[in-house]
Structure 1
Amino acid sequence: MPRFYSWYMGRNNKHLKIRAIITFLLFLLSTTLVYSQCVDLSDKKSINLLLVHSFDNGLPDYPRFNKLLEEHLSGAKLPVRTTIFYLDCDAYDKEDEEARIYSCLDTISAKPDIILVCDDQATYSLLACGHPLLKKVPIVFSGVNFPNWDLLKQYPNVTGIWDNPNYRENIQMIEELMGIKRIRFFYDKTYNGKRVIERLAEQYENEDQELCRSLNHFLQYKDSIKNELQVTNGYLKGSDYNERPAKTSLHFINMRDDLGQNLLWNISGTFKYSVFLLTKYDYTIVQVGRFATVPTFSAVNKGFMCNRDILGGYFTTMEEQIAETSDYIIRLTNGQDVSQLPIKESLKKCVVDWLVLNRWDIPVSKVPKHIEILNMPFYVKYQTEVILCFSLLFVFIIIIIGCLIFLYRREAKRKHKAQLDLWEEKEFLSLALGGGNIFGWRYNRERNEFTIEKEFFDSIGLPYRKISWEEMTQMTHPDDLNQSESIFLNVLNQVEKRSDLRTRINFYGTGYIWYEFRFLNVSGILEDGSSVIGLLMNIQEYKSKEEELTTAKDLALKAELKQSFLANMSHEIRTPLNAIVGFSNILVNDDELPDDEKLEYIHIINSNCELLLKLINDILEISRIESGNMSFEFRPCSLNSLVEDVYKSCLLQVPAAVEFIECTLSEDMIIETDVMRLRQVLMNFVSNAFKFTVSGHVAIGVEHNDVRKEVCFYVEDTGEGIPEAEQKMIFDRFYKINEFTQGTGLGLSICQVIATKLKGRITLSSEMNKGSRFNIVLSYADQAGADHLHPDNALTVAEKVSSVNSNLPIVLIAEDSVNNYMVLNNILKKFCTVVWAINGKDALDIVNKQKVDVVLMDIKMYEMDGLTALRKIRKKNKKLPVVIQTAYAFDENRKQAEEAGANGFIAKPIRVEELMGVIGKYIGN
């Protein structure tokens, strides 16, 4: 039973932990999303938008318009502060409207960044008021039906979307939806009223010339508002009958006659086969749809779906108007100029209102497919789908009920056998644990003793017994005792609920074997008074395999380090060899070289020979270290003499802007040590200090500590310093802080070995951009030295172009070594125009900016290596010849170059014949 309880409690706790983790992750995700949204909005500058409406704020269209506009701008994450001004043009004449809008622009608290003006009246009044601000602020108009083009030309900072009423399309839509009808227009002699007649005449110019002439005559000769069309052309007035008309006819109603009897007569219901078509928005006819006894259509979107009982029409919907207008505002906010946003006509479509369709008992099936039905309830629009979903839901509920009944009955059967399962559980667990070499145990705090299953003692060949706390601590391996006691006492004292540990125990002389203990605090739960219960498992075989894997891993790591070392040596040896061979060939083959150039080339050859010699010496040193054959010769050494010797030997290496300082003891001392090895360490330290000190000083000296009986040799500098994270790794073999510097990464490792052989130690103190100090501390019988290996000073040359000859092919050399570049330049300069890039990044910039015929690309360069640069070049230029020239000469390097897109591969040192042969393929002879 204790085992079963432990297993059950473990499962519950595990599920609780999983729930807690999932809850925390969901909370973290939601917090991150909210924070990112806040950051996005806070990063953007708030935009002041002035929104000008033509009518008063009681127009039902405006709340919907304002809400849609806010949603579109918020969706684009624009922090917009909107100020709304209602012009109320129906209550004022032209001069008063202009004065009101002028006053608004003068008194507005936040000067607008963009002005959005809606409809014809507000657009005209705004532009006609002549306020100085209008020339400075971008203006967007929307919903304008009859733009005043002459006025718009005066404002280059104005753009917008205009809705060109198409009466002809509306008439066709009415015919398709309602059949042959008498279509009744409302007209007046206002500016917009004349534009309606003019637009209608234009649209019927080719189809009904008689109608077109009558409309034009009305526009040209009639000045009064009353009954002009009736007098001008009887066809336009027509004869209305209660009989169905044979064809569609147009009838015009004077909406502003003296008594209004014309309007009342037409909406009275006398004319059965008629419909109304609203040509523009006007407060005198806005309620016609609600009182008329026949359907009302509209050529503009004002009043549609706003409880005006307008059935529909062919026009720009408010959603489309807002979408196109918001797009212009967003583009202006994002920096586009008004001149880039032309005035354009908005998109239109045929739409009807489902609620008004129901009022006139027009079935949805009679609505043509191209006419979109708006305001339709979801359950009506998707009636088939809704019925199907409810049917599926009903079936699903039936299935769920059936499943619940099945589960209930099954659970009843399971409960029936629950008692049998509980007492059988112990037997099953005992069999499982016995077969798996796992044994149960418990600890009783009152008796201070451990009780382990009898089967455990049988497995190790000992008689069963209980083990006291003192016996258990004595049998535990001394190296594991403190940790084991600490973990167990944490659980015993309920600091932790459960835990596990791995330790070595020698049970009564059977030898130390690895065991794993897993245990749980059960204080006050079990009747036998046990405080801790758990499992004991022999993991000796697992530990043995773990040690074997660790050994194999170490061997693999050593093999990998050796492989890395060989690759690095190939590069480091070939690089100076390339300069030596290259300049030697130049000296041999070119008899016309000036003497100063010959001396320079000889100096370069000597420098690279010294570098190569140093590399070989480092390799030999590490070889001696590996084989244990490094010899040491101890003899008396004068401390001051050693410092002076190193100081004088390094004088010729001192950089131009650096002061070299020598610090010796006031009273010289002599100790027994290996002078040659100690000098080797100090020379290494000084050499590295020179590399990384551009200005300031480098000091070498010795100090004496009489109390500790130690001497300390030191080298300090005012160079760039060493990062704290790197200070513990720089003494590792093959480690280099900068992979692009020459060297094997063995110098400091060799120094560390020498210091150890001299029974001393190396210490380091360094601070970034302030300098470093290396110390080697020895007793009176030893001496110490330390140094830090850094890369060579980075070349400050980013690009070098030889004398340009536009008639010669252009060859780009990407090479971080000045010497190697000079070799290639001297070979090619007679035949080509040579351009130099010191790394892959500069090479990429040159290829993008000027024409290049061939690229010679080194692989190992700082900031951007050659293969990375080649891959970036190939993304834009597939045909440019690129030849890899490198000291990495293994087959794997050739394969990497081919995969990156190289056209050729030359290994250093470079031979003139091979180079010219490869170049000749791409630039001819």
Structure 2
Amino acid sequence: MTFVNFKYKYIFIVVCLLVTFLCGYNFKRWYITNNRTHKYISLIYSFSENGIGNGNFEELLKQEFREQGIEPIFNNFYLDCNNSCQKVGIENMSNYLETIKNKPIDLILTVGDQSVNSLLSTKHRLLSSIPVVACNVHFPDEKLIKEYETRKIYFLRDTPDFKRNIEFIKSLQPHKSIEVIYNIDLTPPGRQSFDLLTHIVDRKNVRFLSPQSAFTNEFEYKEMRQMIEYYSLMPAVANNKKEDLMISLCPFQYIKNSSLLSILDRSKSDQEKRVFLLDKFDLAVLPTVKTLNIPSFSCLHRGFGEGANIVGGYMATEEISARAAVNLAIQLFNKEKIGIVKIRDLEKEYVLDWTCFSAYNDYDIKNVSSNVRIINYSFHDRYRKELYFLIGLFILAFIVISTILLRIYRHSLIEHKNLNILQEAHKRLTLSTDGGQISLWNMHRGEIEFDDHFIRLTGLKQRRFTQTDLLKYVHPDDLQLLDPYNETLYKSPSIQILRIRFCFNDKNDYHWYELRCRSLTDAQGETMLAGIMQNIQEVVEREHQLILAKEIAEKAELKQSFLNNMSHEIRTPLNAIVGFTNLLVESADEIDQDEKKSMLEIINHNNELLLKLINDVLEISHLDSGNMDFDIKVWDVTKIIKEIYFQYQSLIQPSLQFHLELDETMLLPVNIDRSRFIQVISNLLNNANKFTQSGYITLGCKIDQTRNEVCIYVKDSGKGIDDKELMMIFNRFYKSDEFGQGSGLGLPICKVIIEKLSGRIEVYSEVGKGSCFAVIFSIANKGNDKN
């Protein structure tokens, strides 16, 4: 606990220090913002107000001053030296100084050579009282500077650096020879600039392009000629020698426009390796350069990034100039001792304008060094490869995620479908076992466990018993049957059946139950018993009724024959019940749930059919009197035919092919007694199975649209019936084979039932090819209810 408190104490201290620092920093910024000192500054430009070159220099100055706690108030003056001579410029500057002499000016800040030269040439008295900062002066006038040696006039020099600019140009196209076009002029700054150029390049690689005929003035040509001879340069129109670097001198200001275009207009291969290098901002040169589409580089920041199509260069940018000017101004405002350094060189940096750079296909961003600052570099261009990679990655991820989600969705659909199938199957199994009064059970290590249906079957809430506990519910007369039954179960793996009476209530009301089970081996290799328990009280009662009916029928020969036939009819559903029950017991673990449900449904249906047939035994005497009961409803014959087909698949001889001809999508509503109808079709199938030795049996259904009738038929490839027998097969007690099984009442009963259902029965047969028995009904109205 002490350690925890110790740790939290230091965390609290660190948090407090961090909050204190942030508060102090924000307070300082707030204080500086709200307590700035106002300073009046005369800002003098060498060029015009609306011309190219102003840039954002004034805004940058404001930002720098404000960060230093000063709110600058500018008084701007534009000398416009491009449209006036030096004398006019000095006069305009004198007039401007007269207008501000009575104003509280704290500093004079000039931009460019012309503005500072004109300012110093006025020799105005303000220059002795107001400090002056001359910014971006390319070639300071040393004579004027000496005249103001004791005054607070300081220069920020921006001398062109030809060496680094040429190296920068070559680095952008390292595998090409470069021709640098240089604008040479006869002005004093032009002569000084050209002198700097001759000191950093090999004079053998310098050539003069313009012949005498191209000049507009012969005097200018002579002066240019003298200047070239002074530097040992000879005129040259062409140079076949391939050099990595060639400096081409072209006096743009002194030659005719047509001659200039003809000189510079060369082949495309030469066009791609040429660049234009500016050492001064000359508005007369830019249109020609733009027309020829030559990449322009500059040693000076003026015009860079202002739509002058300057690609870049090594220069003192506006940000550097503004920062240096403000720092120097702050020292003057604070009256710091500046020292004797009157001229300070501005720092420079490599810069590129991406808008202009990307317009030329010859340049590759890979050649741009990391120390180059790029302006107008859009996020898309800067991170093009990364964006394409991210887009591709996003598309791939989208496809992968979509595929995974689709597979998950499909899997969920399948699981949902399977769950619905299982739920439906469980529902049907529950209905089947509940309707059939069946309960599943197993016995392991002397303990018997029943399923949930046992509760509904017996009324007991207990489902788990020992053998001793279960014996108290057994009828005393049946106890002696259990010991040999158990012994046989453990010795024989086959199904064992036992009928026994149980009483699960206090009324001493015993019911008959049938136990069907077999021995199994579990996963641990131990023997266990599994089977079903079914309430057969109704079956026993029916059997008892059948016995009584048989005893009564034995009194007359006719009734005796009739009962024999009924026993044949009763055997069919009993066989289905016994057969499927045996399958459930023998292969309980091997049969899936769908098949179990289907089998249990068949057992349940045959229980109902058996009950109906036993009742028919009691009511057979009413056939002639017309007192037989029929439960006629609208049924879909398609479903009933399908159910009969599945029921008889296992009952038809294995040597025969059993076919179903039925359109399962068709709805065929018919007014029939379902159990009576199944009885008729079952009789026809039994006959076909009995009299067909090889080939096929087909159960089918078709519709006659013209008559609005449905025909249900049983067709076989048996021995067939001749014409004489066809006239007698529906007579009672008629049998084609006197010694064959059957009472001879099957077909007559079928005929009577069909006629009672308002239908008709027809037969078509050919000896040696087979027979077809057809039952025909009218289709019920579609408005009736369907079961």
Is the TM-score greater than 0.5? no
Report the TM-score range of the alignment, normalised by the length of the smaller protein: 0.3 to 0.5
**TM-score when scaled to structure 1?**
0.36
**TM-score when scaled to structure 2?**
0.41
Bigger CA radius of gyration:
2
